[in-house]
Amino acid sequence: MRLTVLGSNGTYPTAGRPASGYLVAASGSNLVLDMGPGVYLSMLERVRRPDAVVLSHVHPDHCVDLFALLAAIRFGDPDGWGIPVFAPPGLSDRFAAFLAVDADHALHRVFDFDPVGPGDRRRLGPFELEFGEANHSVPAVVTSVEAEGRRLVYSGDTGPGGDLERLAAGCDLLLCEAASQGDPPPDRYPYHLYAGEVGALAAAAGARRLIVTHLVPTLDPAVSVHEAAVEYDGPIDHAVPGMEVDV
Ligand SMILES: [Zn+2]
């Protein structure tokens, strides 16, 4: 199973650096985790049509490029309709509302929306998916992807709590948001993680490898990696677009 970082910026894209998006390939199948702004173009350099998409939540930095994929498949690939999209309940309604379309629209045939939440499992080609609760300001999922005997866990956006540590237990690779740096203040924003918390979580879960991602673009990634490394003594990297990792 191979992970390719399509985009890793937290919150907003910058030049050459899309927001959240990851390509997971195994046994000839391709799964895309999140499609933030810029991710569609990055994906096209590798895959024209993914076999499935997981959207962790409805925030724009994780899902707006589904509109680009919708148009490309709708008008450019009539045989490619029916792409499974796993996402928290209500996400397809938000897309339909934005487009001001009803249930008959091609949106619902180009994509096969499949609402998922904590405890749900899905099988797709070589991929075994399991979803857990993310502690975020809107319904959001943590995603475990297992294929070819390896397992990757992607946090999406989450604060402390939820199912991330449980799902990450013993995983081969933890791809985890680390939106903030330093010591969390008492009035900390509860729906994102600090880099030190991510390191502690990776250590507690026994993750074999850690990649921090979703840093706010103004932060120095070296500081985040250092803060995580204080708590976790396994290999740590910062996700950058184009990075490829054999899980
Ligand atoms: Zn985000």
Amino acid at 203: A
Q: Which domain holds residue 91?
A: 2-246
pLDDT class of 158 with cuts at 50, 70, 90: very high
pLDDT digits (tens, 9 = 90+) for 13-71: 999 999 999 999 999 999 999 999 999 999 999 999 999 999 999 999 999 999 999 99
Q: What would the mean pLDDT of 184-202 be, rounded to a whole number?
A: 97
> How close is the Cα of 178 to the center of ligand 1, in Å?
10
Q: What is the pLDDT of residue 227?
A: 98
CA 222/CA 234 separation, integer angstroms: 16
Q: What distance in angstroms lies between residue 157's CA and the mean position of ligand 1's atoms?
A: 6
State in Å: Cα 10 to ligand 1 middle. 6
pLDDT tens, residue by residue, 100-124: 999 999 999 999 999 999 999 999 9
Distance 160 CA to ligand 1 centre (A): 15
DSSP state of 180: B
pLDDT at 123: 97
Q: Specify the pairing of strand 150-154 against strand 141-147.
A: antiparallel
Mean of pLDDT values over 188-202: 98
Percent of the chain clearing pLDDT 90 (strictly above) = 100
Between the CA of 59 and the centroid of ligand 1 the distance, in Å, is: 6
CA dist 225 and 235 (Å) reads: 10
Rounded CA-CA distance 116/238 in Å is 28
pTM of the model: 0.97
DSSP string computed for 63-93: HTTHHHHHHHHHHH-GGG--EEEEE-TTHHH
Residues paired with residue 19 on neighbouring β-strands, in sequence order: 9
Query: How far, in Å, CA of 181 to CA of 196, rounded?
Result: 7
* Cα–Cα separations (whole angstroms), residue 226 to 7, 212, 221, 233: 21, 11, 9, 11
Residue 60 DSSP symbol? H
* Nearest CA among 137, 239, 132 for reference residue 195: 239
Nearest to 20 by CA among 43, 52, 51: 43
Instruction: Measure 155 CA to ligand 1 centroid, in angstroms.
Output: 10
| Strands of 150-154's sheet in order across | 121-124, 127-133, 141-147, 150-154, 173-177, 210-213, 236-238
Q: What is the pLDDT of residue 157?
A: 98
Is residue 239 very low, low, confident or very high in pLDDT (cuts 50, 70, 90)?
Answer: very high
Buried b (16+ CB within 10 A) or exposed e, 172-187: bbbbbbbbbbeebeee
Tokens of 113: 């929306």
Whether 157 contacts 174, CB under 8 Å: no
Q: Which residues pair with 151 in a beta bridge?
A: 146
CATH number at residue 120: 3.60.15.10
H helices present in the chain, as ranges? 39-44, 60-63, 66-76, 91-99, 107-110, 164-168, 195-205, 221-231
| Cα-to-centroid distance, 104 and ligand 1 (Å) | 30
Average pLDDT of the chain? 97
Cα 169 to middle of ligand 1, angstroms: 23
* CA of 23 relative to ligand 1 center, distance in Å: 17
Total domains, the chain:
1
Q: Mean pLDDT across the stretch 127-138?
A: 98
* % of residues, the chain, pLDDT over 70: 100
* pLDDT interval class at 189 (50, 70, 90): very high
